[in-house]
Amino acid sequence: MADSNVAQGMFGFQQLMDDYYQSDPKDDAGKLQKRTFQADMIQQAMISQQTEQRAAKAQEYEMAGMKQAMDLDIRNQEQLSKTQFDLGTQSKAQDFDLQTRFATDDSQREMDRMTLASNLQNNQTKLEGDENRLSLGEQGRQERETMGATAVEQRKNIDAQGSVDISKIGATGVEQRAGIAAQGQANMGEIDRQGAVDVAKIGVTGTEERKTVGAKGTEQRKGIEAQGAVDVTKIGKQGDVDINKIGAQGSVDIDKIGATGEQERETMGEATRQTAKDRANQRQYSQELAAR
């Protein structure tokens, strides 16, 4: 609107155009000049239209070229990405195959190493088991022999001690009986002598007193003899009881020693069997571990 006003107010462009278009020259120069303007105007309009068409066509071609270039570039990028993806996938697949092969080979090497170690351990365990069984067998045999010899020696000692104790008791009983008998004889002799002295002393006192003293001496002798016999019997019975106790205690000790030796032999045999069982379980576990 502002340009139109400027054109009409300042230059009078519309009036000039109207005046020029409405003019009708009669002379040849005026006609030529107007025809020249008309031809130039038509030429300029044709040039302008052709220029616009060429520009539009060029722009259309440029847009098509740009689209094609973009399409090619996109295709190239897609192909490049696909190629990179394929190459990356192949590289990763190859890396995975190599790592898998390495892991498989390493696992096989580790399995071979563990199998070798297990075989060595099994052989070592077997050798140790054989050595231990031999050692335990020899030790058990030696201990049984030692225990047997000890039991025999103990029985001999007990029998000897019992015999000595029995002999001592018997000798003691005999000595005590002899001592008591001698003491009784001595007492009786002393009583007799004392009775004789008393009789001599009281001979002057009369026949009754002599009878009384004689009866008293006789009664005393009878009491002493009876007491001596009782003491001898007691000592003999006590000796028999002590002999029986010693014999019974010797039998009990011998039985205890035999039972203890048998129990120890059974305990050692059980320990040997348990050790053999533990070795067998260990070998079975090692074989199962190697089989895995």
What is the per-residue pLDDT for 21?
Answer: 83
Same domain, 225 and 173: yes
Q: Of the candidates 258, 249, 268, 247, which has an alpha carbon nearest to the alpha carbon of residue 151?
A: 258
Is 102 part of any domain? Answer: no
Same domain, 83 and 130: no
Q: Can you give the residue range of the structural domain that contains 56? A: 13-87
For the chain, what's the residue count?
A: 292
Is 35 part of any domain? Answer: yes
* Model confidence, pTM: 0.27
Cβ atoms 88, 253 nearer than 8 A:
no
Same domain, 184 and 233: yes
Same domain, 131 and 78: no
Is residue 143 over pLDDT 70? yes
Cβ atoms 202, 209 nearer than 8 A:
yes
Same domain, 180 and 261: yes
Is 113 part of any domain? Answer: no
Number of domains in the chain: 2
Structure tokens at 120: 């060595």
Beta-carbon contacts of 246 under 8 Å, excluding residues fewer than 6 positions away, are 162, 165, 166, 169
Cβ atoms 125, 279 nearer than 8 A:
yes
Same domain, 172 and 274: yes
Write down the mean pLDDT value for the chain: 75
Same domain, 75 and 133: no
Residue at which a domain ends, from 58, 87, 116: 87
Same domain, 286 and 204: yes
Q: How many CB atoms lie within 10 A of CB 221?
A: 17
Average the pLDDT over 279-287 and give the result: 72
Q: Say which CATH number the domain at 197 has.
A: 1.10.287
Residue at which a domain ends, from 39, 61, 87: 87
Is 235 part of any domain? Answer: yes
Percentage of the chain exceeding pLDDT 70: 60
Is 27 part of any domain? Answer: yes
Same domain, 231 and 139: yes
Is 114 part of any domain? Answer: no
CA distance 48 to 44: 6
Q: 199-255: per-residue pLDDT in tens?
A: 566 555 555 655 664 566 567 667 766 776 676 577 667 756 666 675 667 566 656
Residue at which a domain ends, from 87, 107, 136: 87
Is 140 part of any domain? Answer: yes
Same domain, 180 and 67: no
Same domain, 171 and 285: yes
Same domain, 169 and 283: yes
Is residue 159 over pLDDT 70? no
